[in-house]
Structure 1
Amino acid sequence: MLLAQCVDRTGTGMWAAVSVLYFTFVSRLDARQLGLLLGVAAVAGIAGSPLAGRAAERLPVRGLLIGCHLLRLGMMGLLLVVNGFTSLLFVVALICLGERAAKTLEMLFATRVAGERRATYQALFRSVANAGYALGAGIAALGLAVGTISAYRALILANALSFALAAALVRRTREPAGHGLVVARGDTGAADQPPTAPSPWRDRGYLFFVLLDIPMNLDDSVLNVGLPLWLVHHTRAPHAVVPGFLVVNTVLVVILQLRVSAWAEGPRRAAGAVGWYGVTLLACCLILASATGGGVWSATFAMLAAAILVTFAELVRSVSSWELAVSLAPPRARASYLGVAGMSQSVQKSVGPLLLTGGVMTAGPAGWLALGTVVTGLSMVQRRASLVRLSNLAAAPAGPRQAVGTVGGQAGPS
């Protein structure tokens, strides 16, 4: 399964590096069309997670994951032949929907395979995924150096082939036990009449966790959007530093992910780690706010320090977010709950860049200070709410039609 994920991420890394340039120079989209295309695609991606989680309650995860890879394979192939904006909009939306659905299914697959050692599995996956992204970006750099339309299309074809190979590798992986409805330990029921699973959409406590998890994913936008734009427009650091952000991020994730995962392993440690996420992101924001007044060297060191801190925040979040998404969900309906939890990353990818460019950076250094303060405060709220919900779930396990909710620290059935 890890090999399949590595192959998938290699292709995705290629596509991420060339997609905007492809739509600009090959598809000839203007800035307005490109913005609309990416916005609609992001919205489609939001729907992918809950749809995948709901389907996984009834169908084998392996078959669904293969289907997602094949969907992306077909849509990538269509990119080579479609030209009109409307057709591109449809194709790219399905690509994003399939990508988010696939990530949710991979998360569920790994949860069932790894069991209580899911934090270690997540660490291994993160290391493998980053290696895949780096490899894909390197391959894309070779294609971009050529710069011809044929080179762009060759990269798209390579991405499509990565999905075919990933599907073949998943097919050779044994389906984990418990596909379809996941029954909690100790639950009983007739095989032909499974108990009714709780719905995450009626579980206010879990929805509160998912809502708070959106700002807990802002490190992604800070790294990929905030740092480069802030360096270019507000500091004297050379533009050549920008690629260094991804180098620092990739190297640190590969080296430290297993150690951070061991430190934050288990639901209560994961809840405690959420608070450290806020503190670390606040430190990153403080450095960014102070990077505007220095010279070339001081600005360069400040921006690289910010990249290190936001990477530490990412390391903590990647463990705590997944562990809590699993631990706070009733085992009976874990698939649909994880599908809803997966929306937080998709929503952040849609609104995070707009928040940074339209709000935080417009306000200057004060904007970064405000962002860091707010995220830190929300991280403490999520930490407290998660600990209360964990206690309630341990003390009073939910029945087949009831899930324990936590809103603002208060417990009650949803």
Structure 2
Amino acid sequence: MLLAQGLDRTGTGVWAAASVLYFTFVCRLDARQVGLLVGVAAVAGIAGSPIAGRLAERLPVRGLLIGSHLLRLGTMGLMLAVHGFAALLPVVAVTCLAERGAKTLEMLFATRVAGRQRGTYQALFRTVANAGYAVGAGIAAIGLAVGTTNAYRALILADALSYLLAAALIWHTREPSGLGQVVARSADEPADDPAPAPSPWRDRGYLLFVLLDIPMCLEDSVLNVGLPLWLVHHTTAPHAFVPAFLVINTVVVVLLQLPVSRRTEGPRRAAGAVAWYGVTLLACCAVLAASTGAGAWSAAAALLLAAVLVTLAELVRSVTSWELAVSLAPARARASYLGVAGMSQSVQKSVGPLLLTGAVMTAGPVGWLALGAGVTGLSLLQRRACLRRLDALRDADAATPRQLLHA
């Protein structure tokens, strides 16, 4: 399963690094069309997680995951055949929809396979995923250096091949039986709710968790959008430091993901660690605010430190978000609940860059401090809400279904 996920992320890394240039130089789209294409795809991706979760309540997860990989294989093939904006729009949208659905299905499938060791598994997966992204970016760099139309098409074929190989590996991975026993409970997890499976869309407690989880994913936009743009437009640091942000991110994740996961294992420890996410992101934002107006090398050092801090926030979030999404969901409806939980990252990818470019960086250093303070406050609220819900789920045997849904 880890190898399949690694291959998936390798292909995704290839496409992420090459897609904008492919649309620009091969498909001959202008900047406005490319922006609209990427934006619509991101919005379409929001629906991928809940659709996948809903289907997983009724159909085998393994088959759905294989189908998601094969669907992306098909859309990559179509990408080679169509070039106009109108034709590309539905193809790119379906690709993003299938990608987000596949990530939710991977989480479900891995949750079943890993059982109560899901924290350790998530740490291993994060390490493998970062290695896959790095390999994919390296492959893309070779194709981009060649720069011909055939080189771009070869990158798309490499992406498609990764999905085919991932589907083949999933086909040979055994799926544990029993939807109701999706996850083996740890010692501090509550007993399953004996009532009929509830709907996550009517569960205000869980929806609050998902809503608060959106700002808990902002480190992605800070790393990929905030740091590079802040360096270029608000500091005198050399532009050559921009690639170092992703290098630092990859190295720190590989070295520290497992140790961090051990310290946040279990639902209550994960809930407590949410507050550390806010504090770490606040420290990152404070460093970014202090970097403006400094000398070139002082600014560069501050930005590199910010890259380390935002990566530490990512390490915490990547483990706690999954652990809490699983632990806070009733076991009988875990698939549909995790589908809804997966929307938080999709929404953040759509609105996070707009928040940073349209509000935070426009306000200057004060904007970063306001962002850090706001996320820290929301992380404390998330921690309190998660601990309350865990307590409610622990008492589920004595609570009515109505009481549970309003916990």
Is the structural similarity TM-score above 0.5?
Answer: yes
Q: 1:183 to 1:83 in 2, by over 3 A?
A: closer
Kindly provide the amino acid, as one letter, of the partner of residue 359 in structure 1.
A
Question: What is the match of residue 188 of structure 2?
Answer: none
Q: In the alignment, is the contact (CA less than 8 A) between 2:193 and 2:331 conserved in 1?
A: no
- Deviation of the 1:42 alpha carbon: 0.6
SS at 1:129 equivalent: helix
Do structure 1's residue 173 and structure 2's residue 173 form an aligned pair? yes
How has the CA–CA distance of structure 1 residues 286 and 112 changed in structure 2, closer, same or farther, with 3 Å as cutoff?
same
Q: Secondary structure at the match of 2:174?
A: coil
Q: Alpha carbons of 1:28 and 1:305: their partners in 2 closer, same or farther (altered >3 Å)?
A: same
Larger relative helix fraction: 2
Return closer, same or farther for 1:394/1:85 CA change in 2, 3 Å cut-off.
same
Root mean square deviation, CA, Å: 1.8
**Once structures 1 and 2 are overlaid, which stretch shifts more, 173-182 or 346-355?**
173-182
Which whole-Å CA distance do the structure 2 matches of 1:71 and 1:354 have between them? 30
How far apart, CA to CA, are the structure 2 residues paired with 1:336 and 1:201? 9
Distance 1:304 1:136, change over 3 A: same
- Hey, what does 1:24 align to over in structure 2? 24
Q: TM-score, normalised by structure 1?
A: 0.94
Amino acid across the alignment from 2:97: L
Deviations 1:16-75 (A, max 9, x none): 001111111111111111111111101110000000000000110000000000000000
From the superposition, tell whether residues 311 and 188 of structure 1 become closer, same or farther in structure 2 (CA, over 3 Å): closer
**Equivalent-residue separation in structure 2 for 1:72 and 1:187 (angstroms):** 36
Structure 1 segments unaligned to the other structure (5+ residues):
190-194
1:397 Cα deviation after fit: 4.0
In structure 1, what is the equivalent of residue 268 of structure 2? 268
Task: Give deviations 1:318-355, integer Å, cap 9, x for gaps.
Answer: 01100000000001100000000000000000000000
The answer as to whether partners of 2:181 and 2:331 remain within 8 angstroms in 1 is no
> TM-score when scaled to structure 2?
0.96
Q: Identify the residue that residue 39 of structure 2 maps to in structure 1.
A: 39
Work out the CA distance in 1 between the residues paired with 2:220 and 2:62: 28
Partner residue, 1:218: 218
Structure 2 counterpart of 1:231 = 231
Tell me what 1:278 maps to: 278
State the distance in 2 between where 1:269 and 1:181 align.
23
Q: Does the Cα contact within 8 Å between 2:235 and 2:293 map onto a contact in 1?
A: yes
1:18-167 maps to which residues of 2 (within 5 A)?
A: 18-167=18-167
CA contact (8 A) 1:284 1:306 kept: yes
Q: Per the alignment, in what secondary structure is the counterpart of residue 177 of structure 2?
A: coil
Structure-2 separation of matches of 1:43 and 1:181: 32
The change in CA–CA distance for 1:184 and 1:112 in structure 2 (over 3 A counts) is closer
| Contact 2:278–2:377 (8 Å) recurs in 1 | yes
One-letter code of the match for 1:317? Answer: R
Fraction of identical pairs, as percent: 77
Gaps of 5+ in 2: 186-190
1:198 and 2:198 matched: yes
What is the CA distance between 1:187 and its match in structure 2?
7.0
**1:354 alignment counterpart:** 354
Query: For the Cα contact (< 8 Å) 1:58–1:181, is it kept in 2?
Result: no
**TM-superposed deviation, 1:405:** 3.9
